[in-house]
Amino acid sequence: MRPIVDRRDEIQELEALADAGTPKLALLYGRRRVGKTFLLTQIWPADRAFYFTASATTPEQNRRHLVEEASRWVDEVLHPDDYPTWRTVFRMLLSLKPDQPTVVVLDEFQYLSAGAAGLREVASEFNAAWERTDNRRQVLFVLSGSAVRTIAALADGGSPLYGRFDWQARLEPFDFWDAALMVPGYSHADHLRIYGAFGGVPRYLDPVEPGHSFDKNVSRLLLGPRGEVRLQIETAIHQEEGLQDVWKYQAILTAIGSGRTRLSEIGQKAGLEVDKAFRQRIERLIDLGYARRGRNLGAGKTTPFHYRVADPAMAFYYAFVAPYETALEITDPGRLWKARLKALFQTHMGFVFEQVAKQAYYRHLADSELPIVREWGRWEGQDRNREPVEIDIATELVDGRILSGAIKHRSRPMGAGIFTQHLRDLERVASSGSHGAWAHRALEPESPLLFVSVSGFSDEFLRMTEASGRNVVAWAIDDLYRGFGATSA
């Protein structure tokens, strides 16, 4: 079994709760396949932690199975008929192995009830049992689940468990750095490509074979009709709890994945009316981590959002699998990849590389003494002559300055022309009206500049930025992965 990658904070905090010497209650949730189950089953030895995963069956069957599992864990006779209610079951769980510190994990907690109203009743029963727990009892009780909105609501105001949790967290997919730890043995360039194709969901990264080339892994796992990761992605949205008319969610993701970024465009492509229900579905996809939204820096609250697929693996699927589904059925996937899709992948990597640059900034915030960002952003629009302008980095810092710059995923080093073009673009935005007020601040000498280039920088670029007198940070691929060898050793 592979060791746990990252999750250091979660592990340390949960271990501290388990060793606190008093009853502690924790809540962990996240979308499917991000590694919640793997994490919770690996932290503690089997004789200390009782772990139960509820299944999508009736609450009554889950109740009986839970008691039977507890009986096996303590090696004692426990009859399900002796625990006819959830309150009695929870009291039993809280008294397991009373003479030693224990951990009790109930995973997929939402399945203990039939619907949201039933879960509120189950939570109320748990609360009643929890209130009677002896304060000298050293037990950590963890509630976990992949029904993100449902499980997160257990800690909200109005829930019977509001104010009860000592710890709660949402487990997210890996960033580019931790995704690379899942696939050792590759160059940093291949690590980036693997992240661009497979994303940061551990379940998608696990089948990647380090002994195979990137091209072979993509062809075998993502493009082939029976590709293991392709099948996971195709069924991901169907496995989410509580979604009605799943095909509409699928249509929305397909529209966004095809390049539609505005609500009206997405609705038209999906064949759906842009009404309240449509907007709610978009919000649900954002909650689940499948979509993301953003606005230009300086945009007003009424400015429409633009939307993108959040997960690189899902974005890959909608860009390279869904549009070529028929061709992939009748053509060797590896051949189609080399003949057509691999060249298009470079454009896809341009979008992914912007995400990587953002992740790298936050990861290296402390060790590089970078200024703190208020909220990461970019800008795209028109200048006063209605000519398009695109700024890859347009971000307000907490001290009021503006961080701006360019991010390029190209095969050649970034030249001095990118630097001068960026400053010209800032001037064009600054002169375009009130919506470009931030660009005036970005042009001030004290505002820092960040340039990220996968292929490094030309000597002319470095000389020009040094002569400018500006605070310029220039990152090549090795700078993104600075310290990676020491971390992965």
- Which residues are bridge partners to 192 per DSSP? none
In the sheet that holds 373-375, the strands lie side by side as 373-375, 393-397, 402-408, 449-453, 472-475
Reply yes or no on whether the pLDDT at 148 is more than 90. no
Q: What is the average pLDDT score of the chain?
A: 93
pLDDT one-digit tens code per residue, 435-489: 788 999 999 999 999 999 999 999 999 999 999 999 999 999 999 999 886 544 3
CA distances from 196 to 96, 149, 226, 310, 314 (A): 46, 27, 21, 12, 10
d(CA 246, CA 89): 34
Lowest-confidence range among 233-242, 381-390, 400-409?
Answer: 233-242
pLDDT band at 159 (very low <50, low <70, confident <90, very high): very high
- Backbone φ, ψ for residue 51 (5° rounding): -125, 130
Cα within 13 Å of Cα(260), Cβ side: 17
Reply yes or no on whether the pLDDT at 133 is more than 70. yes
pLDDT one-digit tens code per residue, 38-82: 899 989 999 999 999 999 899 999 999 999 999 999 999 999 999
Structural tokens at position 357: 């640059």
d(CA 360, CA 349): 16
- Backbone φ, ψ for residue 289 (5° rounding): 90, 10
pLDDT attached to residue 1: 47
d(CA 60, CA 83): 11
pLDDT attached to residue 205: 95
Largest distance between two CA atoms of the chain: 80
Structural tokens at position 114: 């039939």
Structural tokens at position 79: 């009859």
Write out the DSSP string of 405-474. Answer: EEEE--SSPBPHHHHHHHHHHHHHHHTT-GGGHHHHHHTSTTS-EEEEETT-B-HHHHHHHHHH-S-EEE
d(CA 255, CA 323): 11
d(CA 277, CA 51): 38
pLDDT one-digit tens code per residue, 330-367: 999 999 999 999 999 999 999 999 999 999 999 999 88
pLDDT attached to residue 487: 46
pLDDT attached to residue 433: 79
Rounded mean pLDDT, 91-110: 94
- Which residues are bridge partners to 375 per DSSP? 396
**What domains does the chain contain, in order, with CATH numbers?**
8-170 (3.40.50.300), 209-345 (1.10.10.10), 364-488 (3.40.1350)
Task: Give the pTM.
Answer: 0.90
Q: Are 120 and 155 in contact (CB under 8 A)?
A: no
